[in-house]
Chain A
Amino acid sequence: MAADPQITEARLDALREEAARTGKIQDHGVVPMGGPFPKPASALSYHGNPVLKPPTWTWQVPLYFFVGGVAGISALIALAAHLFGNAGLQRAGLWIGFLGALVSAPLLIADLGRPSRFLNMLRVFKLRSAMSVGAWTLAGFSSAVGLAVVCHELILAGFGYNFLLVIEWAAEIAAALTGLILASYTSVLLGVTAIPVWSENRRLVPVVFLAGGTGSAAAVLELLGFLVPVTQFIGIVAGVVETSVAIMIELRGRYVDRPLREGAVGWLTRAGSALAGPASLLLRIFWGHNSVARYLAAVCFIVGALISRIAWIKAGRVSSLDPQALFRIQRSAPDAATH
């Protein structure tokens, strides 16, 4: 008879079976020792453990990706509106860009491990670091779009000096150019990493992020009441791109894209694509003259694009945890590390 009446032969059998089945014992009293039962490593990786580290970024980062995209492209739309003499869209575009820039910096700073050191980003400029390029771009964009808004409002308030107009034009052009970088550098930021699903899609992510930013900028303008052909046209093009990219990812069927197709993140990716792609597109094409449908299409695109940003970052996490995603790419590479 065992000292502890709860330990019976059946209990010992159960323990052995659990150990054989799961490789460890979870029950109370055994956990502190952990009970490691060595077992053969799975084929060609260290017990299937991740090689890479998952991204440490918090929820602010995908939100910043989205806001930066909207703000940047809004400034471009404002410049085009100015060139084509559309005063309403110009003013709205500038303000969206300005407010987006105001929101972006706090989002980015909140994600840092040491927020008080955010200015360290501006102590060097490194072309080879997309993060450095992005920090400087955000600083430049914020300054340019802020200046453009101030000049624009001064002119509207009746200060009709020529130099104000010149500065406004210069600031608008600068805001549009830096805005384009702001909306696209985030895709390069993901593409130039060690994470397989990002790195292997480095030519596709820029398309996804720019389409998302452009369509969302038009959609935000629509929600502000600009149910005009300009926003409809941009919305349709962005919807077509979103749909095409989603179909391509599904049909291509690559192993490295599995996080975009499988599991919870796969469905998140699909949900984002479906909303920004087919859902918004159908509403625009079939009920484009109905203002309620236009508003709905805009909401669909914005929500879809935001989900898509979240899904791409989550896909990176999933991808980083799968050693085979990395090994498969590298095994096909000629420059092996062993000899």
Chain B
Amino acid sequence: MPISAFLTDASVCIGCKACEVACKEWNHIPDDGFNWTGQSYDNTHALGASTWRHVLFLEEKKPMGPQLAGIEEPFRWQFLSDVCKHCENAGCLEACPTGAIVRTELESVFVQQDVCNGCGYCVVSCPFGVVDKNHEVGTAFKCTFCYDRQRDGLMPACAKACPTRSIRFGEIGELRQEAQVRVKELQDRGYKDAQIYDPKGSGVGGTHAIFVIFGEPEAYNLPPAPEVPTIHMKSAWTAALVAALVVVLVVFLAFAL
């Protein structure tokens, strides 16, 4: 089975939120209120237990490539649909003490709802802040990569619903090539800060969701160098071991003196 992935392209996203709606409808995710953030036309705030696709609305005082409008007071408005990255080294999966979070045969990261006991350790272990606990149900939820649809040979609901092919779904190698072609095309047309967000060299060891963005990833709240927390396992346990040895020494010394 080919390794599938998402390529989400900010340059063609129109902020219609069809992906959010399709995701919610297909996966029967409850609504999470209809509150505006007061910051933009974003009304889902961030990814979470009940938001598996999040369309962000980014207003920046920067020029939009070679476009002539607003040169005196540069302003650009961008949209991007964020999603679970399905990391190669997934912090949530490593942290899960019940084995509820597993790697599927599609190489996606999946929370088995009948096993999760809601300990909340995955929530603080995700370097992208994706997975969260639903406090009514008591367990952790995040994007399933439409496991059920993919098993039946269908593409994920968000990609299917996207009207501009901003969300592309396909084989990861092909998508990486497509992203490169797209970024080159954008740069040639004067969008000099177009780039690929694909953390394959960082601590998460690559993801199954890559992005075409303009400017720095921080503007989209994408971590510039995400790390799987377990890379610090050794140093933390070493410190604990040294401290524990000192405790043993102090306690025995207390009796010996």
Contacts and interface: CB of A to CB of B under 8 A. Distances in A.
- Chain A contact patch, size range: 35 or more
| B59, B220, B236: residue with the most chain A Cβ atoms closer than 10 Å | B236
A53 B131 CA distance: 8
Interface stretch (A192-200, A254-262, A275-283): A192-200
B232 A331 contact: no
Contact of A120 (B98, B128, B130, B203): B98
Interface of A: 22-24, 34-41, 44-47, 49-57, 73, 76-77, 80-81, 83-84, 86, 111-115, 117-118, 120-121, 123-124, 126, 128-132, 134-135, 180-181, 183-185, 187-189, 191-195, 198-199, 202-207, 210-211, 214, 229-231, 233-234, 237, 316, 320, 323, 326-327, 330-331, 333-339
Given A55-B120, A84-B255, A129-B121, A188 B237 contact: yes
A56 B97 contact: no
Interface stretch (B148-156, B159-167, B223-231): B223-231
B198 A339 contact: yes
B1 interface: no
Nearest to B238: A203
Contacts of A214: 247, 250-251
Q: Which 5 A-B pairs have the closest CB atoms?
A: A113-B118, A113-B138, A337-B199, A34-B36, A117-B117
Contacts of B58: 41, 46
B239 A206 contact: yes
Contacts of A39: 39-40, 59
Given A38-B41, A40-B60, 10 more contacts: A38-B59, A41-B60, A49-B39, A56-B123, A112-B117, A123-B115, A126-B96, A131-B96, A327-B224, A337-B201
Nearest to A195: B124
B102 to A, nearest CB: 11
6 contacts: A39-B39, A47-B39, A113-B120, A180-B248, A323-B218, A333-B227
B220 to A, nearest CB: 6
B184 interface: no
Given A131-B95, A199-B232, A112 B252 contact: no
Given A185-B240, A207-B243, A326 B232 contact: no
A112 B118 contact: yes
Contacts of A50: 46, 129
Given A46-B220, A336-B224, A120 B117 contact: yes
B193 to A, nearest CB: 10
Contacts of A118: 117
